[in-house]
Structure 1
Amino acid sequence: MTTSTRKRVLGGLVAASLFVALAGCASAPEESEPTGEAGSGAEVVDGFLPCMVSGTGGFDDKSFNQLGKQGLDQISEELGVDSIAVESNTTSDFAPNIQSVLDQNCTMVITVGFDLAAAAAEAAEANPDVQFVSIDDIVDQDFDGETDFPNIKPIIFDTAQAAFLAGYASAAVSESKVVGTFGGKPFPTVTIFMDGFKQGVDYWNAEKGDNVKVLGWDGTDGLFTDAFVPDQKALDAAQGLVDQGADVLLPVGGGIYQSAASVIRDSGKDIALLGVDADVFETDPSVGDLLLTSILKGIDVGVVDVVREASTGDFDATPFIGTLENDGVGLAPFHDFESKVPADLQSELDAIIAGIVDGSITVNSYLAS
C-alpha cells in the first residue's frame, strides 16, 4: 500500500471514527453466563450457527486469529451450539471461505482482520439476512463515515492507548536509547500500535528529559514487511533495527514477532521483545524470556460478548470499541522482566492509565473521539 493510499484509508477511518463516537461504544464484555444460557437465561434462537473466517496466518498465529478462535470456541461451548471456523492461507481465500460458511447455513459470519473488509462487505450486501461481525475494521469501503451495511457489527480497538504504555515502558528499560518497530502492512489497525508506541516514548522523553529515539515509524511512514507471517522480509526488518542499535523491538502483525525473536537470539544481545494482541508470554512460551510485555486486544472477549447477544436474536450493529476504560485493551504483566524494570515503573504506568481514562493525557489515534 502506498503512502497516498494509506492516507486515503486513514481519512476514511477518521470520518468513520466520528460515526463511531456518535453511535457510542458498546459496553465492556460481561462475565460468562452459565453453560446453556445466552445471558439472563434467554434461549438461543433456533438454528443459530456462528462461523469464523480467519485472516492470513491461520488460527495458530499466537495472535489475533488465535484469540478470535478462542472466543468462538468459548461461547459456542457456553451456549451449547455448533460453530464453524475456516482458515485463510492467502488473501485469495477470503471470498471463497466466506461463501463456504454461507453455504453451510451460518447465521453469523465473523471475519478476523482489516484485510477481509472488502470481502465481508460484498458478502453482507449479497446476504442481508446474515449477521456479519468484522474484527478490526469498521467496513467503510466507500469512505462515507459509516459502516457499509446494517448487518455488519464492527469489533475495533483503540490500541494506541495500550501501545502508549508499552512505548513508555520501552523507553524506561532501553539502555541504548534506541527502540524500534515494524509492521506487517500499513493498515490503520497496524499503524495504530506504532502511533501509540511512539507517543509513549515521546511522553517518557518529555517527562524525564530523555532522548530515546524511535526507529521504524515517524508518525507518517515506517517499516513494513507486506505480510503477517514470519518470513525473510520480517527477518530483514528486525535485523535492520538491531543493526541500528535498537534494544527493544515492537513487531506488529500476526507471526512476524517470531522473526524478531530469531534475530534477537542470533544477535546475542540483551534486546527486549514486545508482543501484540495476545499475551504472547502465555500463547508462545518459547519466546517468553525475551518479552518485556504485550499490548493486548480483548478480541476473544469481544467475540464472546457479541455472539452471546446475537444468539438470542438481539443483533446490534453498534460498534464495540475496546479502550483502557472498558478493559478492551491493556498491557500484559512483565512476567520474567518484572525484576528488570525500574521499581517505580508500574506505579507510573498506573498513573498514566488514570490520566488517559480521565482525559488529562491525550493519546491520538484514528479512533480517538
Structure 2
Amino acid sequence: MNFKLLVVLLVFFLFISFSVSAQYLEVALVSDVGGFGDKSYNDQLRKSLIKVSENSNLKLEFRESNLMTEYQSNINYFAENDFDLIWGVGFTMEQAIKEAAQMYPETNFVLFDGVVEEKNVMSMIFNKEEEAFLAGIVAALTSNSSKVAFVGGQDTRTMRLYQLGFKAGADTVNSGVEVISRYVGSFNDFSAAKEISSELINENVDLIFYAAGAASRGIIDTAIEEDIKLITLDSADISLAPNNIITAVLKNTDYLVKQLIENFGNDNYNSEIREYGLDDNAFILEQNQLSDMLDEEKIKRIEEYKQQFLAGEIELPSVP
C-alpha cells in the first residue's frame, strides 16, 4: 500500500475515534428518596456514570431527592439547563419523568427500572424471571436440606415472576429440591416477615430468597437468629448479615450505563421501553460475597448453568 495513503487513512481513523470519544455530553442523575449512600441503585448508577466519565468527555451532575415532592424540581433543573441526558431511578419517579418529558420534548431522559411511555424517554426494565433464575441456581447448589423458599412482599405479577424464575433455577440444578413460596402481604410489615420466615424454618427450609422491601429486615433478623442462608436483590443487605447472605443478584449497571452512554454519543440511542435480560449481560452476582460463601467448584457450576441458558438449552416456563 502507498505509504502516503496509509498515513492519510491512519489520520482519518484517529480523527473519527477522537471525535466519538471526545464528544461532549452533559449527563445528570436524580436519586429517588433512598438518596446517595443507599448502597443500592442510586449509588450503583452514580458510580457507574463516574466510571464512564473517566474515559469519556462527560460533564456529570447529581441531585439527591430527600422527598418524593422534590423529584420534579430536581429533574426540571437539569432540563432547564439543557443537559443532554437525565437519569431517574425507579417506579416512584415515573410521574415526575413523564411530566418533565412532556414539558421538555427536546430533552432525553432515562428511567432505570420504571416505565414511562413518552417518545423522549428510555425506560430500562428487567426480566425478573431471569434475574431470579440465577438466585434459584445458587439456592439449589447451596441448600443442605433441599428445601428452599421465596418470600415476596405482596402477591403481585412482579413477585410471581420472581417466584417462577427462582423455582426454574432450582429445578434446573436439582428437580428434587422443594421450593416453597410465601407472601408477607406488605412491603413494610417487619413482624409478618419475621413470622413467615420462622414458619419456613420450622418446615426445614434452610435458604430464603426474598424480595420484600423494608419488611426484609424481619427475614434477615430471623436468618441471623436461626443461622440459615439468604439470597438478596440488594447489596446493602450484605453488611447486615455477612455470615448468612450467600450473594446478591444485581443489575449490571457498569456495563449497561457504559453501553447506553456510548450509544447516545454515537447516535445509536433509541428512546424506547427496553427489557434487559441475561442475553444483555444485565445481571451479575455480587462476587466478593459469593467467593467468601461458596467454593470455586460451585461458582463454576453457576456459570455453566448460565451459559446453558444463553445457549438455549434451558427454557423458563411461560408466565401467565
Please give the TM-score of this superposition, normalised by the length of structure 1: 0.68
Match of 2:4 in 1: none
- Do the aligned partners of residues 253 and 119 (structure 1) sit closer, same or farther apart at CA in structure 2, a change above 3 Å counting? farther
Is 1:65–2:5 an aligned residue pair?
Answer: no
Deviates more, 1:179-188 or 1:74-83: 179-188
User: Among 204, 210, 224, which residue is 1:251 paired with?
Assistant: 210
User: Among 118, 140, 143, which residue is 1:171 paired with?
Assistant: 140
User: Among 261, 267, 274, which residue is 2:231 paired with?
Assistant: 274
Match of 2:12 in 1: none
CA deviations over 1:338-363 (Å, ceiling 9, x no partner): 24xxx864454344223311223112
Match of 1:226 in 2: 187
- Do the aligned partners of residues 180 and 103 (structure 1) sit closer, same or farther apart at CA in structure 2, a change above 3 Å counting? farther
- Kept in 2, the 8 Å contact 1:178–1:213? The answer is yes
Count matched residues: 301
- Do the aligned partners of residues 181 and 100 (structure 1) sit closer, same or farther apart at CA in structure 2, a change above 3 Å counting? farther
**Aligned partner of residue 325 in structure 1, secondary structure:** helix
- Which of the two has higher C-alpha Rg? 2
Please give the alpha-carbon distance, in whole angstroms, between the structure 1 residues aligned to 2:262 and 2:309.
Answer: 30
- Kept in 1, the 8 Å contact 2:165–2:316? The answer is yes
Please give the alpha-carbon distance, in whole angstroms, between the structure 1 residues aligned to 2:103 and 2:187.
Answer: 30
Please give the TM-score of this superposition, normalised by the length of structure 2: 0.77
Match of 1:27 in 2: none
Q: CA deviation at 1:271?
A: 1.0
- Do the aligned partners of residues 165 and 151 (structure 1) sit closer, same or farther apart at CA in structure 2, a change above 3 Å counting? same
Match of 2:168 in 1: 199
Q: What pairs with 1:1-369 in structure 2 (closer than 5 Å)?
A: 41-42=19-20, 44-45=22-23, 48-139=25-116, 148-183=117-152, 192-204=161-173, 206=175, 210-216=176-182, 222-223=183-184, 225-226=186-187, 233-234=189-190, 236-245=192-201, 246-252=205-211, 260-265=219-224, 267=225, 269-276=226-233, 278=235, 284-285=238-239, 287-311=241-265, 314-318=268-272, 321-333=275-287, 334-339=290-295, 345-346=298-299, 348-364=301-317
**Aligned partner of residue 359 in structure 1, secondary structure:** coil
- Kept in 2, the 8 Å contact 1:275–1:291? The answer is yes
Please give the alpha-carbon distance, in whole angstroms, between the structure 2 residues aligned to 1:40 and 1:186.
Answer: 51
- Greater RCO (Cα-Cα under 8 Å, separation 6 or more): 1
| Unpaired segments ≥5 residues, structure 2 | 1-14
Please give the alpha-carbon distance, in whole angstroms, between the structure 2 residues aligned to 1:260 and 1:39.
Answer: 51
- Kept in 2, the 8 Å contact 1:181–1:223? The answer is no
RMSD over aligned Cα, in angstroms? 3.4
- Kept in 1, the 8 Å contact 2:184–2:196? The answer is no
Aligned AA (2:20)? A
